[in-house]
Chain A
């Protein structure tokens, strides 16, 4: 499923911050992890990912460092800053609130019962 740009603009940065929560990652790792862990829903091309990373870096939410070794190629690793951790917590709370509101409207699955798939009621009858 292709996600609209506006939705991606809100979800993308938070998804990247969440992935970096466990430790530093490089660009290709992030692309792969986003595609696999979100079943392709948040699969973003490099043309979207790298500008997103640079924006997060400009805001001071992540920082980058080039790492080189004698056996591996150069890679630029990204990691969360303290400001990034704070933002992750804050945005997570907000997304949970949005998700709960959407669940109440029958748009998303409830966090309490995530396996229950919401049904659309387009006929105007009782749900």
Chain B
């Protein structure tokens, strides 16, 4: 003997291939078009009032498909029991309580039943999201500050650094002489520059040229001294 109540939501919870195989051929196109929860609830043979109640609660819960089907299956079973005990569908719907509140409570409690990995991922996503929002907010605040305000130099570090130098009399300052010597320096012959001038020894063929260049630089060397 087959169980007339078994088909309903339990079948809807199966994968697409199994659903196609187990659905009578004449209602297959209709079944494939309709949403799984809606289809499953429609097959419960409950009064329309109770079907709408289950559909409303499961849709409002916005849970995963498998979770919605599980809730729908359980509520359908509950209402079947209620009807079998002689309670009218109106009374069952009334006893159910507030649908919106029920959907919210079911959503919250069903989410708690999800795997720990999901909770960890959700928490991480939330933390990253909050961090991103905080970064954007900080960036916008700093950008607004940069664009809307004018810089006010409260302390002149350059003047403070130069203060000691400014105290030295103009005549005692070496830098103008260094600069004068540098600018007056004759151009170094290329062959000396290529051979790395300070490394040239007396036995080197470039030695005479080097000596001539150093002699040419005598006024600048005196200025440096």
Contact = CB atoms under 8 A, between A and B. Distances in A.
* Size bracket, chain B contacts: 20 to 34
A50 interface: yes
A59 to B, nearest CB: 8
Nearest to B7: A74
Nearest to B109: A54
A72 B1 CA distance: 11
Contacts of B203: none
Contacts of B23: none
Nearest to B3: A70
A61 to B, nearest CB: 12
B43 interface: no
Interface stretch (A40-48, A81-89, A108-116): A40-48
Contact of A47 (B8, B80, B105): B105
Contacts of B10: 66, 68, 74
A68 B6 CA distance: 7
B82 A47 contact: no
A73 B80 contact: yes
Interface in A15-29: 26-29
Contacts of B75: 46, 50
B97 A73 contact: no
B73 A74 contact: yes
A76 interface: yes
A76 B1 contact: no
A26 B77 CA distance: 9
Contacts of B99: 47
Contacts of A54: 106, 109-110, 112-113
Contacts of B6: 68, 73-74
Nearest to B108: A51
Contacts of B14: none
Given A51-B106, A51-B109, A54-B112, A68 B3 contact: yes
Interface string A33-57: 0000000000001111011111101
B12 to A, nearest CB: 12
A47 B113 CA distance: 17
* Shortest Cβ-Cβ A-B pairs, 10 listed: A47-B102, A47-B97, A73-B5, A58-B112, A45-B97, A54-B109, A51-B105, A28-B81, A51-B109, A58-B113
